[in-house]
Amino acid sequence: MAPSLSRTLMVPPLPPRSATAKSSRRSEPRSRFRRVMTPAVPALLLAARPRTAEALPGFTRLGAAIRRWERGSMALPVEEWRRCAARCRAALGPALRERLEAAPPGEALRVACGLLRPGAEEAAALQRLCRRARTGKEPAAARWYREEGNRRFGGCCYGDAALLYSRAASHELPGSPEASLCFANRSAALFHLGHFEICLEDIARAQSHGYPDRLLPKVLLRKAECLLCLGRVQDAADTLAAVENKIALDGIMTSPAHQTLLKKLNQLKLKVLERESCPEAARETCGDTQREPEIWEENDSISGASSSLSLKFNTEKGRHLVASRDILPGQNLLKEEAFVSVLCPEEGESCLLQDSGEMVWDTRFTNADLYCHRCLKQLLASVPCRGCSYAKYCSQNCADTAWEQYHRTECSLGALLLTLGVFCHVALRTVLLAGFSEVSRLVEWSHDDDEDLHNTKARCKHPSEAPDTRTGTRGIPGCNDNGQYQSSYRAVFNLLPHAEKHSPEHKFLCMLSVVAICRKLQEAGLEAAVLNQESSEKGSGTKACEKTSDELSPELQIMAEAMLRHVLQLQCNAQAITVMRELGSGDGAVVNKKPVRLATAFFPVLSLLNHSCSPNISVSFSGTAATVRASQPISSGQEIFHCYGPHRCRMKVAERQQLLSQYFFECHCQACLEELESGDKSVVSMRNSFCCPSCQASMQGEDVLCCSNEACARSVSRESLSRHLRDLQRQIKKALELLRDSRADEAIKMLLKCQMDARNFLSPEHLLMGEMEDHLAQVYATLGKWQEAARHLERSIQIVETHHGPSSVEMGHELFKLAQILFNGFAVSEALSTIQRAEKILTVHCGPQSTQIRELQEMKTCLLELPRSILQRT
């Protein structure tokens, strides 16, 4: 029997996430497959836990993962600065306000610049706000985090320890012995986690940062052990020889620590001898067989798009993409690397938490700890920025590239950028990546264009007025002279800023914020860096501008104008990059996941897609790259639609329209039209509704709900039903706490009671009903009662299907969970058919090469290799 399968039968008891799996992992280099097969079962169940039980009547599931707009509060400047800007605007008086609103952006920015002159009240207020965000290097923080890391290490929480050592390292000066200690400590944690390759990298890093000589033997022994685990016996032997030499040179010591060292050395030498005498069969170095690449024919005129699409333009729809031939579900339509992306801080990001003075470091890990500042790769052993404690990278290479491209300018602006929000940060990085000459070319072009529009409408600059349709894509905004639309700065620049539609208050806030950035660049002497990004052949080079000047230099003025345009564009064009993030640090038995917004980005090609509440594509992300696939058959001539957030499955039409109106349009998609026509009662509200406590018929009405059964006529206030719902959610939460305390039997009892209670006032399709089934499945899975778990999960899946549809990505993830439960329960034929269903759906949404599909296939292979005796039992 396949050895990995026997292990899958022993699912460790639920958390406390920490010590459980460590001993087995220590000597287990291939942790991925094991992780998937064993602890991931309850883990995925945990994933469905609602994030904000109070706000949502049901569980968020995965559906909420791909939101395009979702203006999180982190996108905009902090509340206090928004208020400050509003006060500043109010104080201007009506005449000046009016002038400002009518002025072209360049002139308005000049006025804003005067308002934010050094010494002005607003400038001082902003400075105070920035002090709350701590992005500098603080030795005291480094010490605190390292000690905290040691504590976690002592408690065998190696994942947490590694992250804390990373935090500590980010506060140390590069090249200092203290930094080297952080890396060495982290290497020990990584070793325990089974990340041997990365452990070796950290050991090398420690050595290159001046690791204290006297401590060297200990780390070198760890290195040898790593090499042995990786099967590099000769390298291990060489390392051991080096340790022996070193010890001999240092002379004989009799301390107990030294004795342990010698003992360890001898043990390892024995191991090397063993290995040398009986060389193991070559370790499978690359188990992943490369799959055939998907068939892909790139479009001639749209970079990254499939040749099955074509770019169209008309006044009603603007630019949009249309199928130029029939498209099958799952077909790859677009692969695009973000032009620019900025890692999002999270609500309550640690460095934004404290008010000045109060020193509070916390050990909650956020996006900045877990993902590379540049490429968004998940971090195991981060490389800190040389200048700040905020930016952490996956590799020295990423750190260097980011520094070259933008971070040398952004580094000292960290606190300001956190205070002003992600949109401002994206705007700055966009112009830095584009380079001054390209920015100034396009800003000047936009001035010409404005003049053209004012003077004559003749020159047929606007493609809608072009009489000749044979020009194809030539003349469509953002296309180059050959009619090609590429993911370039030109394309970004041509995204619509909707300048005339934003509220004057919002525009003023954006202006003041952009000016604040430029002023800071000038003050910090970074202007040259900004303009040198490409070349500054323009004008007389970069003369250092007077720091006291009330005006921005002409060059910075141009940058400011472009940045303002980008901030305004972002409101409609920001694309969220989302992932399923593992909660905790990966050393627990249970991997808890939730969808998180990782970054905000510009994808100029993806931005060509219009919105529909019932989209025909699915978007997935890998690092900073987006992939778009058809989620249903699309026939030639049909438009390709992306859902920007308000999906028909998750909201009523009124709610969707209201949300979309913030983004300046009214949705006329099929779903909206149908729902509007059919009257007010949308499907969603019916499904997620209350039912009559007396007769279980559905309840209708606003503040007071009445039973729809005329014979019953019971009425209840919405308020009391909502209170009942909140009580229920609290009970469910308690049940989950019991589960976390390994009191599974009590948790089951409590959940069953909740279910009884819920049946009295929630409709059978209510999301919360599904959630309870899901939790029950989770509890049974932790007890190894797979049959019961599967039964409950199947009921939960029915509800998911009602809400999201049978071929939705949500269904795919649910079936994936079910497949794992059936797999663990040896329900072979059911497992195989569920795997097939999950595979079919997830291939469409995530592609045949995604990890989920791979995991499903691994499960299938495992099941098919089972000996007959087991198969017959089922």
List the structure tokens of 534: 């490409």
Residue from 44, 78, 129, 411 binding Zn ion (CB under 5 A)? 411
Q: Give, as one character, the DSSP assignment of residue 378.
A: B
- Residue 231's CB is within 10 A of a number of other CB atoms, namely 16
Q: Which of 567, 520, 416, 411 is nearest to 75 (CA)?
A: 567
List the structure tokens of 364: 């909650």
Residue 709 found at the interface with Zn ion (CB under 5 A):
yes
Residue 714 found at the interface with Zn ion (CB under 5 A):
yes
Residue 351 found at the interface with Zn ion (CB under 5 A):
no
Strand-pair category, 625-630 with 617-622: antiparallel
Residue 393 pairs in a beta bridge with 383
Nearer to Zn ion, 669 or 831 (CB): 669
Strand-pair category, 610-611 with 641-642: parallel
Nearer to Zn ion, 76 or 411 (CB): 411
Q: How many residues bind Zn ion (CB under 5 A)?
A: 23
Q: How far apart are CA 784 and CA 826, in angstroms?
A: 11
Phi, psi of 21 (to 5 degrees): -90, 5
Q: How far is the CB of 709 from Zn ion (least distance, A)?
A: 5
Nearer to Zn ion, 672 or 799 (CB): 672
Q: How far is the CB of 779 from Zn ion (least distance, A)?
A: 33
Q: Which of 814, 701, 742, 625 is nearest to 45 (CA)?
A: 814
Residue 342 found at the interface with Zn ion (CB under 5 A):
no
Residue 378 found at the interface with Zn ion (CB under 5 A):
no
- Residue 719's CB is within 10 A of a number of other CB atoms, namely 10
Q: How far is the CB of 643 from Zn ion (least distance, A)?
A: 9
Question: Could you say which residues in the range 584-623 bind Zn ion, by CB under 5 A?
Answer: 613
Nearer to Zn ion, 34 or 137 (CB): 137
**Cβ partners under 8 Å of residue 33, min gap 6:** 4, 858
List the structure tokens of 402: 């980011």
Residue 712 found at the interface with Zn ion (CB under 5 A):
yes
Q: How far is the CB of 411 from Zn ion (least distance, A)?
A: 3
Q: What does 515-528 look like in DSSP terms, one character per residue?
A: HHHHHHHHHTT-HH
Q: How far apart are CA 402 and CA 863, in angstroms?
A: 46
Residue 323 pairs in a beta bridge with 309
Q: How far is the CB of 867 from Zn ion (least distance, A)?
A: 45
**Which range touches Zn ion (CB under 5 A), out of 339-347, 409-417, 632-640, 758-766?**
409-417
Q: How far is the CB of 671 from Zn ion (least distance, A)?
A: 5
Nearer to Zn ion, 344 or 491 (CB): 344
Buried b (16+ CB within 10 A) or exposed e, 767-777: bbbbbbbbbbb
Q: How far apart are CA 747 and CA 42, in angstroms?
A: 15
Longest dimension (CA), the chain: 97
**Which range touches Zn ion (CB under 5 A), out of 11-19, 264-272, 376-384, 544-552?**
376-384
Site pattern 624..663 for Zn ion (x: CB under 5 A): ----------------------------------------
Residue from 394, 599, 758, 800 binding Zn ion (CB under 5 A)? 394
Site pattern 265..294 for Zn ion (x: CB under 5 A): ------------------------------
Burial category of 669 from C-beta neighbours within 10 Å (exposed 0-12, middle 13-18, buried 19 and up): buried
Contact present, 612 and 641 (Cβ < 8 Å): yes
List the structure tokens of 135: 């992005």
What's the full length of the chain, in residues? Answer: 874
**Which range touches Zn ion (CB under 5 A), out of 392-400, 423-431, 678-686, 848-856?**
392-400
> Three-class SS of residue 596?
strand
Residue 479 found at the interface with Zn ion (CB under 5 A):
no
Q: What does 613-637 look like in DSSP terms, one character per residue?
A: SS-SEEEEEETTEEEEEESS-B-TT
Q: How far apart are CA 394 and CA 598, in angstroms?
A: 15
**Which range touches Zn ion (CB under 5 A), out of 9-17, 149-157, 380-388, 749-757?**
380-388
**Which range touches Zn ion (CB under 5 A), out of 315-323, 404-412, 721-729, 754-762?**
404-412
Q: How far is the CB of 694 from Zn ion (least distance, A)?
A: 4
Residue from 116, 707, 769, 790 binding Zn ion (CB under 5 A)? 707
Residue 398 found at the interface with Zn ion (CB under 5 A):
yes
Residue type for 690, please? F
What are the C-alpha distances in Å from 351 to residues 8, 124, 136, 217, 366? Answer: 41, 20, 10, 37, 10
Residue 428 found at the interface with Zn ion (CB under 5 A):
no
**Which range touches Zn ion (CB under 5 A), out of 174-182, 358-366, 391-399, 629-637?**
391-399
Residue from 391, 577, 758, 822 binding Zn ion (CB under 5 A)? 391
Site pattern 663..682 for Zn ion (x: CB under 5 A): ----x-x--x----------
Residue 216 found at the interface with Zn ion (CB under 5 A):
no
Residue from 464, 694, 715, 861 binding Zn ion (CB under 5 A)? 694
Nearer to Zn ion, 20 or 610 (CB): 610
Q: How far is the CB of 652 from Zn ion (least distance, A)?
A: 11
Residue 545 found at the interface with Zn ion (CB under 5 A):
no
What is the CA angle 648-652-654, rounded to 5? 120
Residue 375 found at the interface with Zn ion (CB under 5 A):
yes
Residue 387 found at the interface with Zn ion (CB under 5 A):
yes
Q: Give, as one character, the DSSP assignment of residue 612.
A: -
Nearer to Zn ion, 377 or 447 (CB): 377
Binding site residues, Zn ion, CB under 5 A: 372, 374-375, 377, 385, 387-388, 391, 394, 398, 411, 613, 667, 669, 672, 692, 694-695, 697, 707, 709, 712, 714
